[in-house]
Amino acid sequence: MSSPSSPTTAATDQGMVLTLSCPNQKGIVHAVTGALLEVEADITESQQFDSPDTGTFFMRVEFHGPATRDQVQSVLDPVRERFGMELGLWEATRRTRTLVMCSKDGRTLNDLLFQQRAGTLPIEIPVIVSNHLELQSMASFYGVPFVHIPVVKDSTINSKEQAEQRLIDLVRQYEIELVVLARYMQVLSDDLCRSLEGRAINIHHSFLPSFKGARPYHQAHDRGVKLIGATAHYVTADLDEGPIIEQEVQRVTHAQTTQDLVNRGREVEGATLCRAVRWHAQHRVLLDGHRTVVFN
């Protein structure tokens, strides 16, 4: 490998993002910044967090410099080994390849597609999957391939098992890094949840207090809540209980009908999901056990 100061690489000025976590001990930041200094990296943003709960140290660094990704990886390797780090290294301009799943409600899909095209969401969306056809024209307007994967109970050709296998095939085929459930109204199997752990984000309505069971907006209306909200979280086998990335609320009153609450809810859900996806795609979200560390 060429040295960091070789003429071929010196011409570039590559922006990169580094994330790491490891058992906390003295000297981590010193070692990491020493390695980055070695490849003449210029740090532009850096955050760290020492979790008192798990004893884990978390760090995210944005930097740029003449070194290639491989060169940076090389100087970091000994540091990684010394501290037992989990370490990620990405080119800053690289867009996270994202598969979006949806059903009939287009609000969150529209938010994602618009922001992606406007350049405020650092993802690319090579494919959209839906168990319905309603949102095909929206996908088509944004020029994104739309794959219809119906799920039919007790069907031999469109069973949930087969549908999930097709999804897994698409994830492989399109080299998907992130799956976003944009109001996809099918419960994923435990196996699929586990296989996507840490790389699938869901959006969920949320209330104070929360409501279990069916028709939550009806329950919220019956209870006369004054705030309705949304929670964006990573998907885990434990339904709707995955690590929380972002939450948001909006005010409602006694005069609003259940349908008003639903509409208001959709608005909050779209905005909250977009923020969660943006932070994930910028490698700002790290897992600390069941909690997230969000460096935003």
**Beta strands 178-181 and 146-148, pairing class:** unpaired
169 given a catalytic annotation: no
Pick 172 or 254: Cβ nearer a second copy: 254
Nearer to a second copy, 93 or 156 (CB): 93
Q: What is the binding site for a second copy (CB under 8 A)?
A: 26-27, 29-30, 33-34, 36-37, 40-53, 106-107, 110, 114, 118, 120, 137, 141, 206-210, 221-227, 229, 231, 243-249, 253-255, 257, 263, 267, 271, 288, 290-294
State which residue, 101 or 294, has the beta carbon closest to a second copy: 294
Q: Which of 34, 36, 25 is nearest to 62 (CA)?
A: 36
Question: Cα 292–236–289 angle (5° rounding)?
Answer: 35
DSSP 86: E
Task: Dig out the tokens for 256 from the structure.
Answer: 């609003």
Would you say 265 and 205 are in contact if contact means Cβ atoms under 8 Å apart? yes
> With the C-alpha atoms ordered 122, 124, 130, 135, is the resulting torsion angle positive or negative?
positive
CB of residue 11 to a second copy, shortest distance in Å: 19
Nearer to a second copy, 151 or 244 (CB): 244
User: For residues 160 and 280, which CB has a smaller minimum distance to a second copy in the complex?
Assistant: 280
Closest C-alpha among 183, 205, 192, 204 to residue 103? 183
Question: Using CA atoms, how far apart are residues 184 and 103, in angstroms rounded to an integer?
Answer: 5
Helix (H, G, I), strand (E, B) or coil at 61: strand
Tell me whether strands 96-102 and 86-91 are parallel, antiparallel or unpaired. unpaired
Minimum distance, C-beta of residue 212 to a second copy, in the bound complex (Å): 9
- Give the integer Cα–Cα distance in Å for 64 and 60: 14
CA-closest candidate to residue 92, choices 132, 41, 134, 151: 41
CB 238 to a second copy: min, Å: 12
Spot the catalytic one: 190, 240, 260, 288: 240
Least separation in angstroms between CB 183 and a second copy: 13
DSSP letter assigned to residue 134? T
Nearer to a second copy, 27 or 88 (CB): 27
Give the shortest CB-245-to-a second copy separation in angstroms.
8
Alpha carbon distance 97, 127 (integer Å) = 9
- For residue 151, the minimal CB distance to a second copy (Å) is 24
Compute the distance between CA of residue 101 and CA of residue 196 in angstroms, rounded to an integer. Answer: 13
The residues assigned a catalytic role are 240
